[in-house]
Amino acid sequence: MAKVLIIYDSVTGHTEAMAKAVAEGARTVKKVNVDLKKIGTPFPLTILDAADAIIIGSPSRYSHETEVVRYFLKAVADYNKAGRLKLEGKIGAVFGSYGWDGGWNIEMLENNLTELGMKIGGSTVLAVNAPTEKVLDACRQLGKTIADKIAK
Ligand SMILES: Cc1cc2nc3c(=O)[nH]c(=O)nc-3n(C[C@H](O)[C@H](O)[C@H](O)COP(=O)(O)O)c2cc1C
């Protein structure tokens, strides 16, 4: 069965609420297995290999993704470069929350995914602090859009 992995960091819960909404949307698509993981909890990097699509979320911290997201992406890039992951061709997308800087760095996460050889399959969803119901709907839609693309 096709798999979508949603992976995120969240310090005060805003991005976590978005991640759960992305998962909810993805779960509406039949024949797709949805996995939701918070960076900082233990899991093997090989779960990225098992996914057909990877959606990543981060809050803004000092105009960057959080330190754990940066560390995680560096680890993924190193592992991928070493041939221990094959992320090329997988579908990716991004979401996140910011307070005041426009969330440009969250959008830049797309570059990290394309540098890994992934294809962006849906528009980035951004929230200003806590996501509104409209933003949560956009998150659900993002999850569904990506899951639809990989449904087999
Ligand atoms: C220590 C700290 C630093 C932050 N730095 C930024 C920042 O540089 N730019 C910004 O737009 N928001 C910044 N914020 C606001 C958070 O990105 C915003 O509240 C976000 O919704 C938090 O998401 P989370 O609840 O998933 O952690 C900062 C918040 C904290 C607590």
Tell me what pLDDT residue 23 has.
98
Q: How many domains does the chain have?
A: 1
pLDDT digits 0-9 by tens, 41-78: 999 999 999 999 999 999 999 999 999 999 999 999 99
User: What is the CATH number for 113?
Assistant: 3.40.50.360
Maximal CA-CA distance, the chain: 42
70 lines ligand 1 (CB under 6 A): no
pTM of structure: 0.97
CA distances from 27 to 34, 46, 49, 97 (A): 6, 22, 20, 22
* Ligand 1 and 112: CB distance under 6 A: no
Range of the domain at 30: 2-150
Note whether 30 and 80 are within 8 A (CB).
no
